[in-house]
Structure 1
Amino acid sequence: MRTRTPAPLLTVRGLSRRVGARKLFDIAELDFPRATAIALTGVNGAGKSTLLRIVAGLEPAPGATASWTDADGTAHTVPLSPLPMSLRRRIAYMHQHPYLFRTSVRENIAYGLRHHGLPRDEIDRRVGAALGWAGVVHVQDTAPDKLSGGEIQRVALARAKVLEPDLLLLDEPTSSLDGHAREQVIALIGELAAEGRTVVMVCHDRELINLPGVVRWKLGEGRLDTRHK
């Protein structure tokens, strides 16, 4: 008896981008599987970061659509650009060099929750859990300009995780780190994937690519190979 393949978390159609006469990519249909960690690889300039930014709603995507099915079976298909609120609440994006507001670490992590209008006690609960998860309780009242590179990355991961998104998009999360700081961030990413979230990370870090269960996608020459070995 065949095992039924779960429906994708999200399906995006009509993803394309050109830079002048050069085609970065042209993807007719892209399924984001549920509860999967994905390493998006490819040479520099292939369009990996651009692809993530389009899906996150940070760059325009004329003609692209997004489709998904709710837990109650209701199907949705909407234009990807501008990113509708129904998707904005389900997707979190972390830049390669995260920008933190000029306030405390705690307030940085709480920002998105306040924007969504959550009750104060719920915000406090989620932020406290995120601080502990990322190992940054000791700097919760510290300004971002006093943090190390590794601490900044962990705060940014906590700020994404606290929103409880279904899909996390991470752009080169370990590129500026080495040693223990890099190992800490890799461990946190592994935990995010183990929670059952879908994590797509642009990376060249072999240790991230080789984490147990990670699926590799490769972008190059205008096409995306989602079955790359």
Structure 2
Amino acid sequence: MNASSTPLLTVRGLSRSIGARRLFDIGELAFPRATAIVLTGQNGAGKTTLLRMIAGLEPAPGATVHWTDAHASARSAPLAPLPRELRERIAYLHQHPYLFRTSVRENIAYGLRARGLTRDEMARRVDEALAWAGVSHLKDTAPERLSGGEVQRVALARAKVLEPDLMLLDEPTSSLDGQAREQVIALVRELAEEGRTVVMICHDRELINLPGVVRWKLGDGVLDTHHR
């Protein structure tokens, strides 16, 4: 799935401790382009903390991020606060997504409103995202009336509509079973096939065994990016 040998972005000096315990200490972490990655490890290893730091949702003292901008110029900055250019290229999906108490359509449109899109362009992209996630029939439904699988699909559509280069998913199928789980797995597969970089925390063997998936394992403070 790699489209280029040049990383999408690289993070250096990423570490986190809890008291005297070192969760992880990662000298350099490169995120390849157009790649599906599963991040595994025991509970408490720091997987969610790691992804939240990359997404700019957790402090990351001393860490730096390096990337190539739209003009092919090399850029670097402290990871926290996350540079605005990267905020628009990275989407994080919580294990238990929060949806605003409006409607499915308004939830998906939320992130687009701040980007100054025309009303027609926003409507087009929201309609495409609704159809992609298979929730067009729920567009006027209040979130509290959705099933767990529907909430996950709406949350995926809300992230996808922003057209991020890097999607960070925390256990996207952990609370699902049966058809709901299969539907979410199919959407995750499509995201990777579209050429996005998708990093998923998961223990779901079907996701781990998707063709072309790269496996990273976090344990004992070390991130193994060549795990087999």
Q: TM-score, normalised by structure 1?
A: 0.97
Q: What is the Cα-based RMSD across aligned positions, in Å? A: 1.0
Matches within 5 A, 1:13-24: 13-24=12-23
Q: Deviations over 1:8-35 (max 9, x none)?
A: 0000001000011100000000000000
Q: CA separation in 2, counterparts of 1:12 and 1:19?
A: 21
- Kindly state the Cα deviation for residue 70 of structure 1 after the two structures are TM-superposed: 2.7
Q: CA separation in 2, counterparts of 1:12 and 1:167?
A: 13
Per the alignment, residue 33 of structure 2 pairs with: 34
Q: Deviations over 1:149-200 (max 9, x none)?
A: 0000000000000000000000000000000000000000000000000000
Matches within 5 A, 1:208-227: 208-227=207-226
Secondary structure of 1:82's aligned partner:
coil
Matches within 5 A, 1:123-202: 123-202=122-201
Per the alignment, residue 51 of structure 1 pairs with: 50
Identity of aligned residues (%): 77
Task: Determine if the alignment matches structure 1 residue 206 to structure 2 residue 205.
Answer: yes
- Structure 2: give runs of 5+ residues left out of the alignment: none
Q: CA separation in 1, counterparts of 2:38 and 2:117?
A: 32
Q: CA separation in 2, counterparts of 1:27 and 1:118?
A: 38
- Kindly state the Cα deviation for residue 73 of structure 1 after the two structures are TM-superposed: 2.2
Q: Are the counterparts in 1 of residues 4 and 33 from structure 2 also a CA contact under 8 Å?
A: no
Segments of 4+ in structure 1 off by > 6 A? Answer: none
- Kindly state the Cα deviation for residue 120 of structure 1 after the two structures are TM-superposed: 1.2
- Structure 1: give runs of 5+ residues left out of the alignment: none
Q: CA separation in 1, counterparts of 2:207 and 2:88?
A: 26
Secondary structure of 2:162's aligned partner:
coil
Per the alignment, residue 113 of structure 2 pairs with: 114
Per the alignment, residue 82 of structure 1 pairs with: 81
Q: TM-score, normalised by structure 2?
A: 0.97
Secondary structure of 2:225's aligned partner:
strand
Q: CA separation in 1, counterparts of 2:4 and 2:145?
A: 47
Q: Deviations over 1:49-72 (max 9, x none)?
A: 000000000001011111011353
Q: Deviations over 1:35-88 (max 9, x none)?
A: 000000000000000000000000010111110113532010011101111110
